[in-house]
């Protein structure tokens, strides 16, 4: 993580880089660096059958992505810094 912070510091503080490559390149590189720093995605129910099991194996920075369905039980985040999100399929 220290290397990631140093790269962002150098990119942000290098005004010649931003002017030479343009703002689009700057945003693209920053987005790429940020996406590499995040954890993995755990899919419910394909990876684990319940939301709580997915949270149980997740680490800080992971995303627990819940696909459409009915899930029973309580949810305890176990003091983890993660994202629990739902995937909604809309058929048109």
**pLDDT tens, position by position, 4-53:** 556 656 656 655 555 555 566 666 566 555 555 567 889 999 999 999 99
Question: How far apart are the C-alpha atoms of 65 and 71, rounded to whole Å?
Answer: 13
Predicted structure pTM score: 0.56
First-last CA distance in the chain: 43
67, HSE (Cβ side, Cα atoms, 13 Å) = 9
Peptide bond into 84 cis (omega under 30): no
User: What does the pLDDT read at residue 83?
Assistant: 86
């Amino acid at each position: 993580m220290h290397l990631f912070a140093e790269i962002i510091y150098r990119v942000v503080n290098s005004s010649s880089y931003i002017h030479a490559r343009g703002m689009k390149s700057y945003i693209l590189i920053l987005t790429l660096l940020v996406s590499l720093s995040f954890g993995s995605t755990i899919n419910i129910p394909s990876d684990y059958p319940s939301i709580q099991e997915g949270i149980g194996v997740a680490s800080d920075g992971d995303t627990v992505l819940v696909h459409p369905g009915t899930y029973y039980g309580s949810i305890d985040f176990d003091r983890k810094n993660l994202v629990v999100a739902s995937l909604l399929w809309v058929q048109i």
